[in-house]
Amino acid sequence: MGKKGLVMSKPDLNKPDLARRRFLLGVGAATAATGAATASAAWGGNTMSDAFADFFQQHYQRMTEDEIRLTLERIERKAKRRYDADINCKNTPPQEGVVFGYALNISKCRGYRDCVHACVTENNLGEDTQYIRVLEMPEGSLDLNHADHYYDSKDLPHAGHYYLPMQCMHCDNPPCVKACPVEATWTEPDGIVVVDYDWCIGCRYCMTACPYQARHFNWGSPRLSADKINTDTHYLGNRPRPRGVVEKCHFCVQRTRENRQPACQEACPTGARIFGNLLDPDSEIRYVLENKAVFRLKEELGTEPKFWYFRDA
Amino acid sequence: MMDLYYLVRDGISQMLHGSLNYIIWVVLLLLLILNGGWFYYQQLSEGLVVTNMTNQVSWGFYIANFTFLVGVAAAAVMLVIPAYVFRRNDIKDVVLMGDSMAIAAVIMAILFVVVDLGRPDRFWHMIPGLGRFNFPESLLAWDVIVLNGYLLLNMGISFYIIYCHYRGCQPQLKRYFPFVILAIFWAISIHTVTAFLFSANSGRPYWHNALLAPRFIASAFCSGPALMLLGLQIIRSVSNYPISRMVIKHLAIVMTISLQITLFFTAAELFTDFYNEGEHAASARYLFLGLNGHTALTPWIWTALVMLVIATLIGMIHPLRRNRTLLNIAAVLTIIGIWIEKGMGFIIPGFIPSPIGEIYEYTPNMTEIMVSLGIWSLGLLVFTLLAKVAIPIECGTLRKPGVEVSDPICNLKNTPTKEGTSP
DSSP string, A96-130: TT--EEEEEETTT-----HHHHHHHHHTT--TT--
* Contact (CB<8Å) B134/A133: no
- Residue B47: list chain A partners with CB under 8 A: 218-221, 243-244
Q: Please, are residues A238 and A122 in contact by the beta-carbon 8 Å criterion?
A: yes
pLDDT, mean of residues B209-227: 96
Collapsed DSSP state (helix, strand, coil) of residue A221 = coil
Q: What is the largest CA-CA distance in chain A?
A: 68
The neighbour count for residue A97, using CB atoms within 10 Å, is 10
Confidence of residue B406 (pLDDT cuts 50, 70, 90): low
Burial, A154: exposed, middle or buried (Cβ in 10 Å; 0-12, 13-18, 19+)?
A: exposed
Domain residue ranges in chain A: 2-89, 92-313
- More confident site: A41 or A283: A283
Which of the residues B53, B132, B348 would you substitute to probe the A interface, choosing the one with the greatest number of A C-beta atoms within 10 Å?
Answer: B132
* Contact (CB<8Å) B140/A204: no
pLDDT, mean of residues A19-47: 43
For B203, the closest of A135, A184, A211 (CB atoms) is A211
Strands (E), B282-334: none
Strands A232-234, A88-90: pairing kind: parallel
Rounded Cα distance between B306 and A45, Å, is 56
- Residue B360: list chain A partners with CB under 8 A: none
Burial, B11: exposed, middle or buried (Cβ in 10 Å; 0-12, 13-18, 19+)?
A: buried
Q: Which region, left, alpha or beta, applies to residue A41 given φ > 0 means left and ψ of -120 to 50 means alpha?
A: alpha
Show the domains of chain B with their CATH numbers. 2-409 (1.20.1630.10)
* Contact (CB<8Å) B118/A205: no
Please state which of the ranges A9-23, B317-331, B365-379 shows the lowest mean pLDDT. Answer: A9-23
For B203, the closest of A147, A181, A301 (CB atoms) is A301
pLDDT tens digits along A301-313: 999 999 999 999 7
- Whole-number Cα distances in Å, B392 to A153, A224, B154, B165, B229: 72, 61, 20, 10, 20
Average pLDDT along chain B: 93
What pLDDT sits at residue A14?
33
Query: Is the CB of residue A245 less than 8 Å away from at least one CB of chain B?
Result: yes
Q: Please, are residues A88 and A229 in contact by the beta-carbon 8 Å criterion?
A: no
pLDDT tens digits along A40-56: 444 555 778 888 899 99
Confidence of residue B409 (pLDDT cuts 50, 70, 90): low
**pLDDT higher than 80, residue B57:** yes
* Contact (CB<8Å) B357/A210: no
Query: Is the CB of residue A145 less than 8 Å away from at least one CB of chain B?
Result: yes
What pLDDT sits at residue A32?
41
Query: Is the CB of residue A186 less than 8 Å away from at least one CB of chain B?
Result: no
**pLDDT higher than 50, residue B416:** no
pLDDT, mean of residues B322-332: 96
Query: Is the CB of residue A166 less than 8 Å away from at least one CB of chain B?
Result: yes
* Contact (CB<8Å) A203/B140: yes
User: DSSP label at B82?
Assistant: I
Size of interface A-B (CB pairs under 8 A): 151
What pLDDT sits at residue B401?
86
- Which is nearest to A5 in space by CA: A69, A68, A87, A77? A77
DSSP letters, B210-228, are TTHHHHHHHHHHHHHHHHH
For A204, the closest of B58, B120, B202 (CB atoms) is B58
Q: Where does A197-249 have alpha helices with state H?
A: 205-209
CA B213 to chain centre: 16
For B355, the closest of A182, A203, A211 (CB atoms) is A211
pLDDT tens digits along B330-385: 999 999 999 999 989 999 999 999 999 999 999 999 999 999 999 999 999 999 99
pLDDT tens digits along A201-235: 999 999 999 999 999 999 999 988 888 899 999 99
pLDDT tens digits along A96-139: 999 999 999 999 999 999 999 999 999 999 888 999 999 999 99
Q: Which region, left, alpha or beta, applies to residue A118 given φ > 0 means left and ψ of -120 to 50 means alpha?
A: alpha
pLDDT tens digits along B124-138: 999 988 899 999 999
Alpha carbon of B47: minimum distance to chain A alpha carbons (Å): 5
Q: Which residues pair with A104 in a beta bridge?
A: A273, A309
Please state which of the ranges A30-39, A184-193, A247-256, B225-234 shows the lowest mean pLDDT. Answer: A30-39
Any residues with CB less than 8 A from the CB of B165 and at least 6 apart, and which? B171, B393, B394, B396
CATH fold for the domain made of A92-313: Alpha-Beta Plaits (3.30.70)
Alpha carbon of A17: minimum distance to chain B alpha carbons (Å): 25
Which of the residues A200, A203, A296, A309 would you substitute to probe the B interface, choosing the one with the greatest number of B C-beta atoms within 10 Å?
Answer: A203
pLDDT tens digits along B272-309: 999 999 888 999 999 999 999 999 999 999 999 999 99
pLDDT tens digits along B138-188: 999 999 999 999 999 999 999 999 999 999 888 988 889 999 999 999 999
**pLDDT higher than 50, residue A3:** no
Alpha carbon of A207: minimum distance to chain B alpha carbons (Å): 7
Residues 5-44 of A with CB under 8 A from B: none
* Contact (CB<8Å) A201/B201: no
Q: Please, are residues A3 and A36 in contact by the beta-carbon 8 Å criterion?
A: yes
What pLDDT sits at residue B404?
77
- Residue B48: list chain A partners with CB under 8 A: 202, 217, 219-220, 244
**pLDDT higher than 70, residue B414:** no
- Residue A246: list chain B partners with CB under 8 A: 118
* Contact (CB<8Å) B355/A210: yes
ipTM over 0.95? The verdict is no
Q: Please, are residues A167 and A214 in contact by the beta-carbon 8 Å criterion?
A: yes
Instruction: Say what percent of chain A tops pLDDT 70.
Output: 85
What pLDDT sits at residue A127?
81
Confidence of residue B408 (pLDDT cuts 50, 70, 90): low
What pLDDT sits at residue B328?
97
